[in-house]
Amino acid sequence: MAAATAGACSKGCSKRWREGMSGPAPIVCDACPVADRAVCSALSPEDRGELARIGHHRRYARGETIVAAGDSATVCATLTRGAAKMSSIDRDGTERIVALVHPAGMLGQLFAPTATLHVTALTECEACLFPAAHVAALSDKRPALARRLLAEVSRELDESRALIDLISKRQAKGRVAALILAFARAASPAPCHDAETFDLPLTRGEMAQLLGITIETVSRTLTALEDAGIIARQGSHGIAILDRDALDDLASA
């Protein structure tokens, strides 16, 4: 299933694995936290039931590979809980994060004959997986689904362009500030206002890749933001926003 290099998890997942990371399980839409937002919401209950029988639900540990670049059996998945990253690997082995996926987002590339991107769990997370071919076939019969898929990919495109915005900030402070705000938005249950306290589910290395700066600069910048009283930190990943306006200013610079 996974590509050769993707099996090893360097982040100490083995314990959690043994603790009972669940394998493939049936899909129960009634309990789905994103039933109203995800792509499947475009389907009638009957159609959704049919799709639910074809696909399955899985839980992933942090660091686990969800889709490996090179996989030929393309899946179309919806993230129901947690966060994931999509990344490409250069010939020289450098990883490059090209997208972050939050709950209700789609994982995988619906159209590529083989996946060109790795999809990796950033936190413990859950997803519903479907064979891409089935989804494509169903969308031919259900215009509402086709339209919803189109809207979802368009949304991903907008997000991708927002990411471009993020990393084309000139200064490191601006990039880090924008990243913090992006996660504040994603971490909030309500779309209208952001979370004030949340976890950045990225290592410093991942943040550095994403922002196009070095690990050291990320670290120094976070320290500077904390010293300036703009954020507070709890452990290495916990963030509390103390001065939202200052963060906005930095992010738009």
Partner DNA sequence: CGTTACATTGATCTCTCTCAAAATTCGTGG
Partner DNA sequence: CCACGAATTTTGAGAGAGATCAATGTAACG
Contact residue for a copy of itself among 80, 139, 217, 221 (CB under 8 A)? 139
Establish if 245 lies at the interface with a copy of itself (CB under 8 A): no
- Gap between the Cα atoms of 77 and 130, Å rounded: 6
Nearer to DNA, 24 or 205 (CB): 205
Contact residue for a copy of itself among 30, 90, 227, 245 (CB under 8 A)? 90
- Gap between the Cα atoms of 244 and 249, Å rounded: 9
Establish if 72 lies at the interface with DNA (CB under 7 A): no
CB-based contact 113:151 (threshold 8 Å): no
Contact residue for a copy of itself among 29, 98, 195, 224 (CB under 8 A)? 98
Closest contact distance (angstroms) between CB of 206 and DNA is 8
CB-based contact 132:39 (threshold 8 Å): no
- Gap between the Cα atoms of 6 and 253, Å rounded: 38
Closest contact distance (angstroms) between CB of 239 and DNA is 10
Q: Which does 197 bind (CB under 5 to 8 A by kind): DNA, a copy of itself, none?
A: none
Establish if 216 lies at the interface with a copy of itself (CB under 8 A): no
Establish if 44 lies at the interface with a copy of itself (CB under 8 A): no
User: What token pair was written down for 62?
Assistant: 């942090």
